[in-house]
Structure 1
Amino acid sequence: MRVAVLCGGESSERDVSRSSGWAVAQALAGRGHDVVLIDPAAEQPVLADPVPSGDTVVPVPKEPPVPADRALLRQRMYAALTDGPVLDLMRRADRVFIALHGGWGEDGHVQALLELAGIPFTGAGHDVCAVAWHKGRAQAVLEAAGIPVPARVLYTPPDAPGEVKQLLANGPVVVKPVAEGSSVAVRKVDSPEELPADGAELLVEPFLGGREFTVGVIGTAALPVVEIELTTAVFDYEAKYQPGAVREICPADITAEFAERLQDLALRAHRALGFGTTYSRADFRCDDAGTPYCLEVNALPGLTPGSLVPVAARGAGIAYDELVEKLLKA
């Protein structure tokens, strides 16, 4: 197949996405596909054409890109995806493999543009992505489907409503952007004075002190459960992408019954949000009693070889290049 891999983009996960994109593109090239790698937000968007097979590792910096660059990146990205050589390359491809994470790549913008242009692509459609990307909307859908989710309050700083203060009165909370990925700007808060003074809409939920797990789903099959063993209070950006910051254990050291329970919840979440035959990754955190709650469902989870879905795939005996092939055809 002729495959155009999209990576990079305008989001705070731009660096992670470029790492995913190179890994995906090289794996597909190694399996005989003709691959072009594109970062539509870059000044020179075509990174490689054709992409050689190999195992070049693109490291992820400790800090996400600075927000001040986002406006320029968005201008470049929109221009590239709607006209000119990048659009021509995507039209000539048999399929676009979306290795973007966060921002326009995961909130449905890119999917909508590709749908309008009649270009086939990997992953869920724009409508599913839009709901999954907004944690408040996604949790409302999951809750309606009977999937346990934490209590939550949405608000925009600086004025925290009384419900936030009530949550804090019962113990520490986790505060995160309602639409952001890779745990960017996630923080544990112990008092009202520590709440953010500015920024976009936030989601506040009780801090759950138990174990953390994640389950990848491809179509109708759940991958083995991965446990994330933290050295920090929350699984933040630095912990996710710096070697040795956390332990990712697959298969998780849990009973078969509990593993089946988590996999069933992940499959139900996948179906409730409309992912169908595509792929997703559901994240869970347990309370002190061991009850799991679904925190979010990722429409375009990380695909670096060390990311959680590839780790889970290895636990199922699926090599990285085989996983990428599955996602290409899902």
Structure 2
Amino acid sequence: MRVVVLCGGESSERDVSRASGWAVSRALTSRGHDVALVDPAAEPPILADPVRAGDAVRVPKEPPGPADPALQRRMYSALTSGPVLDLMQRADRVFIALHGGWGEDGHVQALFELAGIPFTGAGSDVCAITWHKGRSQALLGASGVPVPPRVLYDPATQAEPPVEVKHLLAQGPVVVKPVADGSSVSVLKAERIEDIRADGPVLIEPFLGGREFTVAVIGSAALPVVEIELTTALFDYEAKYQPGAVREICPAEVSPAFAEQLQDLAVRAHQALGFGRSYSRTDFRCDASGTPYCLEVNALPGLTPGSLVPRAASGAGISYEELVDQLLHTSGDGSPTP
């Protein structure tokens, strides 16, 4: 197949996405596909055509700052005109290895849907609802997937956190996370109302002190459960992307019944949000009694060889190259699968 791998972009997860894109491109090339690698926000945007051998892109310890308007302008221009658009229109499929920002909130998917360009991953509507943690958590809760109590706080419209936050703090620490962001960027743990810092809308929920797990779903099938054994209080940006920061165990050392429970919940979350034939990754954390709660669902999870979805695939005996080729042939956008 002629494939364009889209990576990088304008979001705070730009570095992670470039690492995913390079790895995905090499994997698809090794499977015999004709691959072009594109970072639509870069100058120039076409990074390699065809993909050449090279060192993997390493993810820095600190995430980039807020979205740069210059990156956004270049990205929009590249995706809507010129050689990148021509390249994508000639491709059999665009493999979206973007994380965060326009790549994960539905903007890019909407452009492709309007242009009739087939792409991997969920459609724009699914990405939009999943990207907003408050809305997706409300939908999951209504669908019977257990989610923690949560409070939305927007400092732009509220002088201080709502009174409900004080009620949560009376029961223990809380976690403060951006309503719309990924890779655990700007996530913090707070024990007092004064500890809560927010530059934009955030979701505040109880800190759950139990074990942490994640489950990937491809189509209607759940991969083996991965346990994330932390050395820090939170699975934050640095812990996610620096080798050796956490221990990831797959298959997780849990009872078959508990593993099946987590896999069933992940499939239910996948279906409730409308992922269809696409893929997703659902994150869980348990409370002190061992009851699991869904923290969030990821529409475009990391795809470096060391990321959690490839780790789960490895636990099922699926190589990284086989996984990437399988994801190439999955789609939730309604386009035909080549």
* Matched residue SS, 1:277: coil
Q: Deviations over 1:79-135 (max 9, x none)?
A: 111111111110010000000000000000000000000000000000000000100
The alpha-carbon deviation at position 55 of structure 1 amounts to: 7.1
**Mean CA deviation greater in 302-311 or 156-165:** 156-165
% same residue = 75
Question: Matches of 1:168 and 1:142 in 2, distance apart?
Answer: 24
* Matched residue SS, 2:324: helix
Question: Matches of 2:233 and 2:135 in 1, distance apart?
Answer: 25
Task: Report the count of equivalent residues.
Answer: 327
* TM-score, structure 1 normalization: 0.98
Question: Matches of 2:77 and 2:103 in 1, distance apart?
Answer: 15
**Mean CA deviation greater in 125-134 or 152-161:** 152-161
Amino acid at match of 2:170: A
| 2:42 match | 42
Q: Deviations over 1:14-43 (max 9, x none)?
A: 000000000000100011000000000112
The alpha-carbon deviation at position 56 of structure 1 amounts to: 3.4
| 1:94 match | 92
The alpha-carbon deviation at position 280 of structure 1 amounts to: 0.2
Change (3 A) 1:301 1:325: same
| 2:167 match | 166
| 1:155 match | 153
Amino acid at match of 2:209: G
| 1:281 match | 281
Question: Matches of 2:13 and 2:235 in 1, distance apart?
Answer: 15
* Matched residue SS, 2:68: helix
* Matched residue SS, 2:152: strand
* TM-score, structure 2 normalization: 0.96
The alpha-carbon deviation at position 58 of structure 1 amounts to: 1.4
Amino acid at match of 2:91: A
Question: Matches of 2:88 and 2:50 in 1, distance apart?
Answer: 14
Question: Matches of 2:78 and 2:190 in 1, distance apart?
Answer: 40
Name structure 1 gaps, 5 residues minimum.
none
| 2:291 match | 291
* Matched residue SS, 2:137: helix
Question: Matches of 1:132 and 1:312 in 2, distance apart?
Answer: 21
Work out whether residues 124 and 299 of structure 1, in 8 Å CA contact, stay in contact via their aligned partners in 2.
Answer: yes
Q: Deviations over 1:198-224 (max 9, x none)?
A: 411000000000000000000011000
The yes-or-no answer on 1:269 pairing with 2:269 is yes
Name structure 2 gaps, 5 residues minimum.
331-338
Question: Matches of 1:72 and 1:294 in 2, distance apart?
Answer: 36
Question: Matches of 1:34 and 1:296 in 2, distance apart?
Answer: 34
Work out whether residues 174 and 204 of structure 1, in 8 Å CA contact, stay in contact via their aligned partners in 2.
Answer: yes
| 1:191 match | 192
Amino acid at match of 2:32: G
| 2:336 match | none
Amino acid at match of 2:60: P
The yes-or-no answer on 1:127 pairing with 2:134 is no
The alpha-carbon deviation at position 66 of structure 1 amounts to: 2.0
| 2:335 match | none
Question: Matches of 2:205 and 2:112 in 1, distance apart?
Answer: 35
| 2:209 match | 209
Question: Matches of 2:125 and 2:54 in 1, distance apart?
Answer: 34
Question: Matches of 1:58 and 1:306 in 2, distance apart?
Answer: 12
Q: Deviations over 1:30-76 (max 9, x none)?
A: 11000000000112100000113x57321100011122x52111111
Question: Matches of 1:183 and 1:74 in 2, distance apart?
Answer: 21
* Matched residue SS, 2:141: helix
Work out whether residues 26 and 55 of structure 1, in 8 Å CA contact, stay in contact via their aligned partners in 2.
Answer: no
Amino acid at match of 1:203: L
Question: Matches of 1:55 and 1:267 in 2, distance apart?
Answer: 37
| 2:176 match | 175
* Matched residue SS, 1:104: helix
Amino acid at match of 2:107: H
Amino acid at match of 2:224: P
Work out whether residues 23 and 56 of structure 1, in 8 Å CA contact, stay in contact via their aligned partners in 2.
Answer: no
* Matched residue SS, 1:170: coil
